[in-house]
Chain A
Amino acid sequence: MKKFDTKLAVDGVDLAVPAGSFFGLLGPNGAGKTTTLSMAVGLLRPDAGRALVLGHDVWADPVRAKALVGVMPDGVRLFDRLDGTELLTYHGLLRGLAPDVIDQRVTELLDVLALADAGRTLVIDYSAGMKKKIALACALLHAPRLLVLDEPFEAVDPVSGATIRDILTRYVAGGGTVIFSSHVLEVVERLCSHVAVMAAGRIRTVGTLDEVRGERTLEEAFVEIVGGRTATGSELSWL
């Protein structure tokens, strides 16, 4: 549960993410997705409740829990006065990896994410999509057991999007767990094994993709669950 001043941003979310699942967190803008994920990884202290990562309490035993998680927060700056290679290396060292492991992984990640040429440019001069990709690389670098990604597909081009999807699918196949928030329902539909829909700080629906979707498309299900409005055609007539 999290309260900002008087606004209850997240209210009694109880979410169990099965190990080895590919979990999509959906919800309209301001639903509380970012807030929920931030509390789950230790970026935001909940007013009440706990968060467990593979059995370790994030707030009681942060060191053990945080070592298992890779995080890509949304709307957070990177240490952007380092260049791409420096930033990745820095993250590797922070996570206590050995130098030779870092060298190999950094080179590979930059290659795969098509950032090799930008490795010497300061991250502050990157485009929005490039920043997303390098942030993702930072989260992947220490081969965590759980990946928490906030809007990983926002602003990335189709080719990179496909690459990221590929990486994540392989990662889950290898036994990892991914939870990510997204507004791109096609991607969610294609990737996820489990889905949860939030609105106004509460979980509205949770289950496997098929349970949530039923006979409809995911988009129809989503609109029905959060209760979207349909256009009458009379608004914005001046436009």
Chain B
Amino acid sequence: MALTFAKLKLRTLRNGFRGRPAKILMFVLGLLGALFYGALAFLLFLAAMTAGHDGLALAPAYGGTLLALAWLLMPLVWFGVDETLDPARFALLPIPKLVLLRGLLVGALIGVPAAATLLATSGLAVGAAIEGGPAAGAVGAVGVLLGLVLCVLMSRAVTSGFARALRARRTRDLAAVVLAVLAASLGPIQYAINSGAQSVGMDRLESIARVLGWTPFGAPYVVGQDAVAGDWAAVAGRLALTAAVIVLLAWWWSTSLESAMVGSAGDGGGSGTGPARAGSPTARFFRRSRAPRTAYGAMLVRELRYWLRDARRRASLITFAVVGIFLPVMLNVGPAAGDKQLPMAVQLLTMVGVGTLASVGIANQFGYDGSAYAAQVVAGIPGRLELRARAMAYSWLVLPVLLSVVALTVVLRGHPAELPAVLGVPLAAYGTGLACCLHLSVWGAYALPETQNPFAINTGTGVAKSLLAMAAMIAGPVLAAPVFLLAAFGGPVGSALALPVGLAYGLGAAWLGALTAGDALDRRQPELLAMVTPKR
């Protein structure tokens, strides 16, 4: 049965590539990149096992933990999980739950990230075999395999758990939940980075490694070392811990899987039927909004409503809010910042990053709509108008977050005089980023699968998505460089001028971007519709 699932997955993958050379190219590029990093990590881990160097010997615990955390966080903040095998598709088939779970797990294990992880961590097993003979090697291999299963299961369980939470009715308390969870998970990373950065003595690092080795994150990767050292009790303990966590995760995943399968009739559910509102249809449509009663106003209001009602869009907004708020906190308080403050230029550089990040959410705006975009095509909406309304609606929601990031930064740094620069730079970066992402949304849109999980994407698009977004995330900051240079190196005058200049620059860039991308959109409407229509 598991074999059937594996075949099914491979076949869906292959069919997805048929006749789409660009997608294949992206996939190959991603594969090569993954192989490169996987091989690099393989060598590191191999060296860690065989070199006998004190510092290197800590690599399994730290490296393994980082890997596991990456599996946990990456799908949430960035990549999404590959739902080529969408659980809802199996709802009607008489497959026992355990079999289904195993099959889906096998399906999930087939993929580039899993292969790269396996390649990297197998260095541990090989190293253990070299150092401690076949028995140690076997233990190392078991640890590596269990670690991989743990990572994959964790990313599945957490994303589908989150998906369930994000579907619930009230947006606000939900955001709080997500914030709390992410905050909690960022804490340890921050702690680890900070302690590393402060170059505490070897003892400290070792004691942390010891703790990490007994968390489910690090445990499966350290067993090889234990086996080499002949500490079989520790081996048994760590493997048991890992296995127990795997069972727990599997159980959690199966519960959320069930709800993913039954509830597939209508995803979202959104805010449901609101309280009966009196008034004419247009009054009901606009509610208290003062948007003009035109096509532009209608699109503006609809976009605003969609950013709040669509779980995927909501997830991307929340992600930005979390990252945006935590970046300044992490950089300016906590042990990393120490007593000396971040240099202003570096701080401004991070603000460029924040501004760019704010604009990225719009990069696949048409993908969120899917085939519903046909309504816009049929109505013959001019591209410029369309993009202007969309950018406006998005900014309406994102700019307040951006402003609070700025406010937080200024408060944390405690220099009100820096406000113009700290505000002007991210505004400029947001404007240029918006221009790039508007173009990206017209040229590089991709369809999202019609599933419940807001973090789900199709295989292959993960790579495409990140490559394209990477291009936009480089182009945006580069375009915003003049304002950054002015604010960072222009002395007090430049710093004061940064606000008006940054504002004008950002506005101008966004305006130009909307114009040029709008013209492109006019020429590409049917093609764009085809790109964002999910293939079923």
Contact = CB atoms under 8 A, between A and B. Distances in A.
Interface in A75-106: 75-83, 85-86, 88-91, 93-96, 99, 102-103, 106
Interface string A119-148: 011101100000000000010000000000
B270 A122 contact: yes
A5 B529 contact: no
B273 A44 contact: no
B310 interface: yes
A61 to B, nearest CB: 10
Contact of B372 (A5, A66, A77, A88): A77
Contacts of A71: 378
Contact of A62 (B272, B302, B380, B530): B380
Nearest to A118: B273
Interface size class of B (residues with CB under 8 A): 35 or more
A76 B525 contact: no
A238 B322 CA distance: 60
A89 B374 contact: no
A45 B529 CA distance: 10
A94 B378 CA distance: 10
Given A42-B525, A43-B374, A99-B293, A94 B379 contact: yes
A76 B374 contact: yes
B302 A82 contact: yes
Given A76-B374, A94-B295, A125-B266, A43 B281 contact: no
B15 interface: no
A160 interface: no
A67 B276 CA distance: 33
Interface in B436-479: none
A79 B530 CA distance: 17
Contact of A94 (B284, B299, B369, B526): B299
A103 B279 CA distance: 10
A66 to B, nearest CB: 3
A121 B380 contact: no
A82 B305 contact: yes
Contact of A107 (B270, B281, B309, B380): B281
Nearest to A46: B526
A93 B281 contact: no
A173 interface: no
A73 interface: yes
Given A42-B377, A86-B284, A124-B267, 20 more contacts: A41-B378, A42-B378, A42-B525, A45-B526, A62-B380, A67-B380, A75-B371, A76-B374, A79-B306, A81-B309, A83-B273, A85-B281, A89-B282, A93-B293, A93-B295, A94-B381, A95-B295, A95-B379, A96-B295, A99-B293
Contacts, number: 122
A94 B281 contact: no
Interface in A42-70: 42-45, 62-63, 65-67, 69
B414 interface: no
Nearest to A75: B371
A93 B294 contact: yes
B64 interface: no
Interface of B: 19, 266-270, 272-274, 276, 280-285, 293-295, 297-299, 302, 305-306, 309-310, 369-372, 374-382, 525-527, 529-530, 533
Contacts of B310: 81
A91 B375 CA distance: 8
Contacts of B272: 122
Contacts of B299: 94
Contacts of B283: 103
A10 to B, nearest CB: 15
A130 to B, nearest CB: 12
B349 to A, nearest CB: 38
A63 B380 contact: yes
A93 B298 contact: yes
A52 B525 CA distance: 18
A91 B295 CA distance: 9
A94 B376 contact: yes
Contacts of A77: 370-372, 374
28 contacts: A41-B378, A42-B377, A42-B380, A43-B378, A43-B529, A65-B380, A67-B380, A76-B372, A76-B374, A77-B370, A79-B306, A80-B372, A81-B268, A81-B305, A81-B306, A85-B285, A86-B281, A88-B281, A90-B285, A91-B379, A95-B295, A96-B294, A99-B280, A103-B281, A121-B273, A122-B273, A124-B266, A124-B268
Contact of A73 (B280, B369, B378): B378
A149 to B, nearest CB: 12
B282 A81 contact: no
6 closest cross-chain pairs (CB), A and B: A66-B380, A93-B298, A103-B280, A89-B285, A106-B281, A77-B372
Contacts of B533: 76
Contacts of B284: 85-86, 89
B298 A90 contact: yes
A66 B315 CA distance: 35
B70 to A, nearest CB: 33
B379 A66 contact: yes
